[in-house]
């Protein structure tokens, strides 16, 4: 069984599953959890080199798994039981972002984006409920987007999927609260990751988002990870059904 890194950390002794954990926001969350003393099952696609990413972290177990595969949810929960001894925290971070207008969204693109961003999140969360019920502090943290509070050009299916994340998480909070399980979602704004970095090479696009955020800068994966740590701690035990914006204030600025 993997063990935590810091016995005095805010998540000491907690067992967390993080999907999409090989890079970007998922990697930042998983490593922040490890730093705070949790043991982590990192999940991502086979081609993502998970084992190399977590080679220096004894408290991390790795599972190469496409979250959209038929038996993915059961396999993730079973591996968490074997590697960690259960689940206290589930972070549904795996997601895809593809641009398309309503008119140009094909059935295939719709199914692909919704399959990762919504259906896989639902199935993994459902499969994890028995383990979360056994936890003294069950947490579900889903990755949404500020796109669930706004619209954007050529983001029809992505924006729709993130609206679904918001609604699904609120319903999870209502259904699972009786078991002491909280469910919340993070709404990142403009975050620089390996995936998004090419877009920010466009000077005009970068300046737009820098100026859109009142704090005057783009976000980093660590900004989102810090919020994910808070929602996983005992301090957040009375926070549920909430969408926490991590966007530097962009959503509130005209």
CB 187 within 8 A of CB 244: yes
- Looking at the structure of the chain, the number of domains it has is 1
Domain assignment present for residue 142? The answer is: yes
Q: 186 to each of 18, 78, 124, 137, 232, how far by Cα in Å?
A: 14, 26, 17, 19, 12
pLDDT tier, 3 (very low <50, low <70, confident <90, very high otherwise): very low
Q: What percent of the chain has pLDDT over 90?
A: 87
Q: Is 39 helix (H, G, I), strand (E, B) or coil?
A: strand
Domain assignment present for residue 254? The answer is: no
Which of 3-17, 149-163, 219-233 shows the lowest per-residue confidence on average (mean pLDDT)?
A: 3-17
Indicate if the pLDDT at residue 51 is higher than 60: yes
Strands 60-64 and 139-143: unpaired
Radius of gyration of the chain from its Cα atoms, rounded to whole angstroms = 17
Domain assignment present for residue 37? The answer is: yes
The mean pLDDT of 103-120, rounded to a whole number, is: 97
Indicate if the pLDDT at residue 228 is higher than 90: yes
Q: What is the pTM of this model?
A: 0.95
More confident residue, 95 or 194: 95
Q: What percent of the chain has pLDDT over 70?
A: 98
Domain assignment present for residue 197? The answer is: no
Task: Give the pLDDT score at 171.
Answer: 98
Domain assignment present for residue 72? The answer is: yes
Q: How many CB atoms lie within 10 A of CB 224?
A: 27
Mean pLDDT of the chain: 94
Domain assignment present for residue 1? The answer is: no
Burial of 149 (0-12, 13-18, 19+ CB in 10 A): middle
Which residue range(s) make up the domain with 68? 15-192+221-249
The mean pLDDT of 62-88, rounded to a whole number, is: 98
Residue 92: give its domain's CATH number: 3.40.50.720
Output helix, strand, coil percentages for the chain, rounded to the nearest 5: 45, 15, 40
Domain assignment present for residue 161? The answer is: yes
pLDDT tier, 194 (very low <50, low <70, confident <90, very high otherwise): confident
Task: Give the pLDDT score at 99.
Answer: 85
Which residues participate in catalysis according to the annotation?
A: 158
Domain assignment present for residue 210? The answer is: no
Angle of CA points 211, 220, 36, to nearest 5° = 145
């Amino acid at each position: 069984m993997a063990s935590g890194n810091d016995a005095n950390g805010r998540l000491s002794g907690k067992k967390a599953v993080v999907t999409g954990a090989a890079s970007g926001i998922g990697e930042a969350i998983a490593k922040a959890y490890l730093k705070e003393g949790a043991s982590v099952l990192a999940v991502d696609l086979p081609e993502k080199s998970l084992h190399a990413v977590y080679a220096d972290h004894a408290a991390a177990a790795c599972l190469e798994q496409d979250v959209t595969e038929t038996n993915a949810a059961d396999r993730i929960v079973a591996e968490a039981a074997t590697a960690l001894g259960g689940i206290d925290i589930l972070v549904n971070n795996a997601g895809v972002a593809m641009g398309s207008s309503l008119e140009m969204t094909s059935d295939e693109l719709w199914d692909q984006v919704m399959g990762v961003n919504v259906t896989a999140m639902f199935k993994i969360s459902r499969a994890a409920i028995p383990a979360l019920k056994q936890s003294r502090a069950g947490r579900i943290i889903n990755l949404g987007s500020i796109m669930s509070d706004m619209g954007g050009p050529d983001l029809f299916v992505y924006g729709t999927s993130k609206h679904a994340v918001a609604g699904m998480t609120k319903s999870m909070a209502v259904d699972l609260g009786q078991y002491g399980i909280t469910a919340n979602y993070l709404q990142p704004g403009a975050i620089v990751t390996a995936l998004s970095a090419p877009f920010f090479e466009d000077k005009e696009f970068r300046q737009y988002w820098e100026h859109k955020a009142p704090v005057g800068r783009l976000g980093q994966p660590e900004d989102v990870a810090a919020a994910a740590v808070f929602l996983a701690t005992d301090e957040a035990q009375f926070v549920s059904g909430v969408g926490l914006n991590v966007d530097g204030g962009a959503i509130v600025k005209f």
